[in-house]
Every structure is written in C-alpha cells, then in structure tokens.
C-alpha cells in the first residue's frame, strides 16, 4: 500500500532485502509558473509524476512565502494524482485541516515546528489524511523513533528548507540510511516511505536512493531538463529504481 491512493505501475516497484516499495517521483510545484498553476499541475500529471508536492511556506519557519490552501484547491481539479502539502510552517496545527479540505491526501509536518509532534500526527490521521514527518538537515533521525507508528513517510531534507535550486547536501545520506533502517527494524519496511527533498537531480538521485529513499522530490531538475518534464521524470525514476536499496 503506497498510502498515496493511486497505485504506481508495477514497473515502479523495487524489491530489496525482502522489502518491496514503489520508487516514486514527486515534483515540487515551486518552480512552476504560478500565473497558470492549474495548467502547470496538469502538465506535471501528464508528464507521469506519481504525486504532486506543494511546498507550503509561511515566511516564519522558512524565509519564504508560498501557497495557501485556496491556491491548492484551485489546482485540485487539474490532476487526479495525490497531492501532499509539505508544511514548512511554524504552526502546522492551525491550518492542517484547511490543507486536507483543499485536496491534499498527505500532510508533512516538520518535527522542529511541533511541540507535540505525536498529537499533531494523530490529529492529521483523524482528519482522514496520511501523516508524514520532515527532518531538517541538523535534526537527528532519533527525533522520530517514537512516532514511526503514526506516519506513512519520513522526509529527510537534503537542503535547508525555503528555496528551490539549492545544492544537495550529500552528508545527509547516512541519515537517510539510518531512517530507512529504523523503519525496517520496526517491521514497517513495506509501509513507511522515505522521501528526500532538495537538490535531487540526475547526478544526485542515485546516492539518495541507494541510501534508502524511495520517494524523491525534484523541482529545478524537472523544469530545467531541455527534453521536457516527461523525459526528466522518466530519467529520474529509472536512476532511482536502479539504485534503490531498502
Ligand atoms: C526547499 C524546497 C525545495 C524544493 C525542491 O524548501 O522544498 O527543496 O521542494 O527544490 P529543488 O529540486 O529545486 O532543489
């Protein structure tokens, strides 16, 4: 069960060490043309992405400001793919329900922004969405060891959040591996995903997948591919599937 609703095709699955997980490519909408956000979401859908990620920023938790729930709701009808909201916000509890109502199937909250992370994740699940937790580069993997039963994904940031187009932080790979191994050790290997976000490109994606990431967020790398979005999605998925190690 991918926890995403739509099941990826068989070709997107990788089985390693007895763990079978889909290898999923999810775009960040951040580099898209906001003046036509609906068409941009449709283009991402048609390019074959598995999920669409909205980088929600409040100008407080990160020094940038992006999408409110109404923007996401306005794009919902342009794609049938699952939406997830990456809540880079100081108070995720305040707005979580609005993002679910806007059409997001998953909410990702930052451990650093949650005084009561366990309760926040429980509340998100109570809203009928799946819950995920994100870790900034400085935050240790141990932070989430007591909430793995409440999430269907852990996001290991491979940049400091706030902007697209940053360089991949390769020193995060041991943490990706640590999170993947924590999940497997808890017997959750087939149901809890590891996502990475930041600086993912054809030259960095294999390292992240080899370390155990099976959901890969890409923004700049998709939009700067001269052969177009579909080529970028296909290339990234092939590189990640070949390298993925559970
Ligand atoms: C950081 C953002 C970016 C974005 C992806 O807060 O979350 O990581 O999604 O940007 P690229 O793929 O351009 O690094």
Q: Which atom of ligand 1 is nearest to the CA of 222?
A: 12
Q: Is 202 in the pocket of ligand 1 (CB under 6 A)?
A: no
Among candidate residues 50, 55, 58, 225, the one labeled active-site is 55
Tokens 């409110």 sit at which residue? Answer: 68
Nearest protein CA to atom 4 of ligand 1, as residue:
164
Most ligand 1 atoms within 8 A of CB, residue of 53, 55, 169 to mutate: 55
Q: How far is the CA of 197 from the centre of ligand 1 (A)?
A: 6
Count: domains in the chain: 1
Catalytic: 197?
Answer: yes
pLDDT tens-digit map of 105-139: 999 999 999 999 999 999 999 999 999 999 999 99
Helix axis angle, 229-243 relative to 37-46, nearest 10°? 50
Give the mean pLDDT of 157-186. 97
Query: 3 lies in a domain?
Result: no
Query: 17 lies in a domain?
Result: yes
Residue partners of 6: CB distance under 8 A and separation at least 6: 50, 80, 81, 82
Q: How far is the CA of 149 from the centre of ligand 1 (A)?
A: 27
Q: Is 28 in the pocket of ligand 1 (CB under 6 A)?
A: yes
Per the CB < 8 A criterion, the answer to whether 40 and 33 are in contact is yes
Residue 232: CATH number of its domain: 3.20.20.70
What range defines the domain where residue 71 resides?
10-244
Query: 2 lies in a domain?
Result: no
Query: 95 lies in a domain?
Result: yes
Query: 239 lies in a domain?
Result: yes
Give the mean pLDDT of 98-110. 98
State the pLDDT confidence band at 190, using cuts at 50, 70 and 90: confident
């Amino acid at each position: 069960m991918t926890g995403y609703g739509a099941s990826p095709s068989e070709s997107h699955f990788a089985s390693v060490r007895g763990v079978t997980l889909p290898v999923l490519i999810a775009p960040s909408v951040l580099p898209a043309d906001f003046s036509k956000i609906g068409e941009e979401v449709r283009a991402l859908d048609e390019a074959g992405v598995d999920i669409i990620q909205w980088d929600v920023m409040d100008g407080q938790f990160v020094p940038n400001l992006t999408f409110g729930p109404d923007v996401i709701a306005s794009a919902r009808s342009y794609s049938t793919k699952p939406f997830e909201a990456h809540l880079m916000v100081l108070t995720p509890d305040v707005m979580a329900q609005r993002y679910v109502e806007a059409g997001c199937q998953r909410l990702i909250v930052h451990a650093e922004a949650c005084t009561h992370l366990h309760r926040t994740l429980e509340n998100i699940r109570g809203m009928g969405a799946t819950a995920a937790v994100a870790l900034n580069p400085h935050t240790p993997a141990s932070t989430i060891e007591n909430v793995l039963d409440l999430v269907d994904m852990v996001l290991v940031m491979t940049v400091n959040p706030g902007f697209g187009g940053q360089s991949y932080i390769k020193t995060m790979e041991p943490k990706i591996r640590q999170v993947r191994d924590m999940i497997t050790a808890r017997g959750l290997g087939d149901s809890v995903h590891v996502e990475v976000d930041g600086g993912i490109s054809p030259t960095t994606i294999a390292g992240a997948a080899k370390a155990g990431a099976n959901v890969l967020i890409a923004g700049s790398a998709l939009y700067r591919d001269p052969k177009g979005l579909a080529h970028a999605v296909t290339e990234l998925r092939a590189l990640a599937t070949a390298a993925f190690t559970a």
